[in-house]
């Protein structure tokens, strides 16, 4: 018969074994829980990230679709405007211009029958008639500038500025820097119309005596500055209050450009446009006529 003596330490160890097993089991379940929680957090983050990216892509796609829709509407409007300008230009040049030239010829035929006392008034009337013919021709040319198609945007803008200066409505200085290549007809014509509208706004509203038009190209961008020494204004009209400005902004944006206007009372106004000509698609550059 064997007798085993259980010492106190051994007895205590024997009593603590179940507790140690229970603690080990608890640690294991805690580790499993934390691991599952971590996996769940990682999966949730991945799902959230993917969903966020998809929402961002969807928002970008929607923005592109809206921009493309706006661009198509603007192109349709500009196409209609250009067709109407072409028609009016032809009517002015061939109709009114031709009629004024015929009137001038008849006046010349009557000149020999005039008495000396009427000659001064006749000559004054002839000068007025010449001015009217010149104005009709300039107006017709500005509506459909042939120089734009033959020589390009800088030459057309310079010619336009010179015509405005000769009319004594406003003295415009024109500058160009950098080697400007020929652009697609739609882009050149659209930019020409935008500058034309900015200059006409100066004449109508700015009470300016001098203005500057400058066009440059650098690193795939074309920048145009139109500024004047007029009265300026305190607050830049917002898209909600300035319909003309909003229309200009949309037209510039449709050409992959940005428009910035700065002004202050008594210090004139500066309009700065920058176009990214490197990203303009060929379909966007089709000729409007």
Question: Does position 271 have pLDDT exceeding 90, yes or no?
Answer: yes
pLDDT at residue number 44: 82
Per residue in 242-258, pLDDT tens?
456 778 888 898 888 99
Tell me the per-residue pLDDT of 40-81, one tens digit each, with 9 for 90 and over: 888 888 888 887 787 778 777 777 777 667 666 666 666 666
Identify the bridge partners of residue 262 per DSSP, sorted by sequence position.
270
Tokens of 38: 């971590």
Q: What is the pLDDT of residue 12?
A: 45
Query: Residue 228: which pLDDT band, with cuts at 50, 70 and 90?
Result: very high
- CA distances from residue 254 to 102, 142, 274 in whole angstroms, order as listed: 44, 23, 12
Q: Is CATH 3.30.565.10 what the domain over 152-289 is classified as, yes or no? A: yes
Predicted confidence (pLDDT) at residue 7 exceeds the cutoff of 60: no
Could you please report the per-residue DSSP string of 17-48? HHHHHHHHHHHHHHHHHHHHHHHHHHHHHHHH
Report the pLDDT value the prediction gives residue 287, as an integer from 0 to 100.
40
Taking alpha carbons only, the member of 150, 148, 226 closest to residue 192 is: 148
Give the lowest-confidence range in 108-117, 235-244, 261-270.
235-244
User: Is the whole-model pTM more than 0.75?
Assistant: no
Q: Can you give the residue ranges of every domain in the chain?
A: 152-289
**158 within 8 A of 132, measured Cβ to Cβ:** no
Contacts of 236 (CB under 8 A, 6+ apart): 242, 245, 261, 262, 263
pLDDT of residue 174: 96
d(CA 118, CA 10): 145
């Amino acid at each position: 018969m064997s007798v085993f003596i259980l010492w106190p330490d051994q007895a205590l160890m024997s009593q603590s074994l179940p507790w140690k097993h229970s603690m080990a089991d608890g640690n294991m379940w805690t580790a499993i829980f934390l691991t599952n929680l971590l996996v769940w957090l990682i999966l949730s983050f991945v799902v959230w990230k993917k969903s966020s990216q998809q929402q961002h892509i969807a928002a970008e796609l929607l923005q592109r679709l809206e921009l493309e829709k706006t661009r198509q509407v603007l192109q349709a409007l500009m196409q209609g405007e250009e067709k109407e300008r072409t028609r009016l230009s032809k009517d002015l040049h061939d109709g009114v211009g031709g009629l004024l030239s015929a009137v001038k010829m008849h006046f010349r035929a009557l000149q020999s029958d005039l008495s000396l006392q009427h000659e001064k008034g006749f000559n004054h009337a002839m000068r007025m008639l010449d001015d009217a013919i010149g104005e009709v021709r300039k107006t017709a040319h500005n509506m459909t500038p042939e120089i734009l198609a033959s020589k390009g945007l800088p030459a057309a803008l310079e010619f336009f500025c010179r015509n405005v200066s000769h009319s004594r409505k406003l003295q415009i200085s024109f500058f160009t820097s950098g080697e400007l290549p020929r652009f697609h007809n739609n882009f050149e014509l659209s930019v020409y119309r935008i500058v034309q509208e900015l200059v006409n706004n100066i004449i109508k509203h700015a009470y300016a005596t001098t203005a500057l038009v400058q066009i440059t190209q650098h690193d795939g961008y074309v920048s145009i500055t139109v500024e004047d020494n007029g009265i300026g204004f305190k607050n830049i009209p917002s898209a909600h209050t300035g319909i003309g400005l909003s229309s200009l902004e949309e037209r510039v944006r449709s050409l992959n450009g940005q428009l910035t206007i700065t002004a202050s009372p008594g210090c004139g106004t500066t309009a700065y446009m920058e176009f990214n000509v490197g990203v303009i698609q060929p379909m966007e550059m089709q000729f409007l006529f």
